[in-house]
């Protein structure tokens, strides 16, 4: 962790304090305390059990992808550490760009080579993107129209987030299933741009993109050659995503609100798409705005809405930072 990451944490804390103070100024504190005293403890515990299960699923994915016959297997907690370190650096870097490099460092600290760590994470990324593709499509098709009717302003940003995500996933699918066509198309686009703009940087960019395409294709072929490993990781990724997206449902139950799991989960997916285009660490400010707008569909009381927001941000953001910092300081033994 360098100076830039520490600044990221301080920035997140500053923005969070501003947001919390702003939200508290809009409600009656006595009413908030009264609502907090009525929280259903059972469902509140389920919030954190669900999150823990999500992290365990991700950790098992890393174990499976890292597994090789006749090789030493590091202790499971080391892989849990990798997942939490990823969450920490995703939370404190813009657009969650710091998560994957931090995972490579964490895997290297276990004694896994950078090459193998990169290979494992590329395979994990491919499985994740294919898994989330169906969830995004289903949530968008069944939910976007109602959001557009109620919140047309935020719907525009959700649409942009959806297009960006789906475009990148479709490009990834082209790499995996139409590799030669994708390479040729990339070269043609690069050559055309180079014809318009004579730049060495553009040429380097094209070479980097082609290298990434080849890397993704190679890792995709590895996955396809081991269908059992692919199937297990795919199922675990779906469970991981469903657990994470289900957190707001248990938050609403903890606040004694009746709601549909499917409806709440779809809204949470839409909020995730909105957050994905907020270019500051943790989507601070934007995340809170999106949550309050979208989840006002289920919560009429302003104090309950703010309480739900605090529970959601603590469980899915600040707790990850706290646990990530703790596990980052605990260095694992090398096992290779």
Instruction: Look at the chain and report how many structural domains it folds into.
Output: 1
Counting beta carbons within 10 angstroms of the beta carbon of residue 27, is it exposed (0 to 12), middle (13 to 18) or buried (19 or more)?
Answer: middle
What pLDDT, on a 0 to 100 scale, did the predictor assign at position 336? 55
What pLDDT, on a 0 to 100 scale, did the predictor assign at position 60? 95
In a domain, 27, yes or no: no
In a domain, 22, yes or no: no
In a domain, 14, yes or no: no
What pLDDT, on a 0 to 100 scale, did the predictor assign at position 34? 92
Is residue 305 within 8 A of residue 299, CB to CB? The reply is yes
What pLDDT, on a 0 to 100 scale, did the predictor assign at position 139? 94
* pLDDT, tens digit only, all 336 positions of the chain: 677 777 777 887 888 888 888 888 888 899 999 999 999 999 999 999 999 999 999 999 999 998 875 567 788 999 999 999 999 999 888 878 888 889 999 998 888 888 888 888 988 999 999 899 999 999 999 999 999 888 888 999 999 999 999 998 998 888 888 889 998 988 888 888 777 777 777 778 888 888 888 888 888 888 888 888 889 999 999 999 999 999 999 999 999 999 999 999 999 999 999 998 887 877 777 888 899 999 999 998 999 999 999 999 999 999 999 999 999 988 877 655
Is residue 85 within 8 A of residue 327, CB to CB? The reply is yes
In a domain, 208, yes or no: no
In a domain, 336, yes or no: no
Domain span including residue 109: 3-9+40-168+228-329
Is residue 230 within 8 A of residue 219, CB to CB? The reply is no
Q: Is 285 left (phi over 0), alpha (psi -120 to 50) or beta?
A: left
Is residue 288 within 8 A of residue 23, CB to CB? The reply is yes
In a domain, 110, yes or no: yes
pTM of the model: 0.89
Instruction: Give CA–CA dist 26/21, Å, rounded.
Output: 9
In a domain, 92, yes or no: yes
In a domain, 49, yes or no: yes
């Amino acid at each position: 962790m360098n100076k830039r990451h520490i600044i990221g944490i301080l920035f997140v804390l500053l923005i969070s304090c501003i947001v919390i103070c702003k939200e508290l100024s809009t409600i009656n504190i006595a009413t908030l305390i009264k609502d907090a005293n009525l929280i259903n403890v059972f469902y509140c515990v389920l919030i954190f059990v669900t999150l823990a299960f999500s992290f365990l699923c991700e950790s098992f994915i890393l174990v499976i992808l890292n597994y090789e016959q006749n090789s030493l297997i590091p202790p499971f907690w080391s892989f849990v550490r990798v997942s939490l370190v990823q969450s920490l650096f995703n939370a404190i870097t813009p657009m969650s760009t710091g998560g994957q490099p931090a995972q490579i460092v964490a895997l290297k600290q276990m004694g896994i080579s950078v090459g193998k760590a990169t290979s494992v994470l590329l395979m994990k990324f491919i499985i994740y993107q294919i898994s989330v593709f169906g969830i995004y499509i289903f949530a968008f098709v069944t939910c976007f129209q109602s959001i557009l009717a109620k919140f047309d302003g935020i719907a525009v940003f959700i649409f942009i987030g959806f297009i960006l995500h789906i475009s990148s996933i479709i490009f990834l699918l082209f790499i995996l299933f139409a590799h030669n066509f994708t390479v040729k198309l990339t070269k043609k686009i690069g050559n055309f741009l180079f014809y318009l703009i004579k730049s060495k940087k553009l040429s380097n960019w094209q070479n980097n993109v082609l290298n990434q395409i080849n890397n993704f294709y190679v890792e995709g072929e590895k996955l396809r050659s081991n269908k059992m490993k692919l199937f297990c990781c795919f199922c675990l990724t779906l469970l991981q995503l469903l657990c994470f997206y289900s957190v707001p449902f248990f938050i609403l139950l903890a606040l004694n609100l009746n709601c549909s799991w499917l409806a709440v989960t779809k809204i949470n997916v839409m909020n995730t798409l909105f957050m994905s285009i907020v270019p500051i660490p943790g989507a601070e400010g934007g995340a809170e705005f999106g949550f309050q707008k979208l989840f006002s569909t289920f919560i009429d009381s302003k104090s309950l809405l703010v309480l739900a927001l605090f529970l959601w941000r603590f469980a899915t953001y600040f707790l990850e930072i706290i646990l990530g910092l703790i596990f980052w300081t605990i260095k694992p033994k090398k096992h290779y």
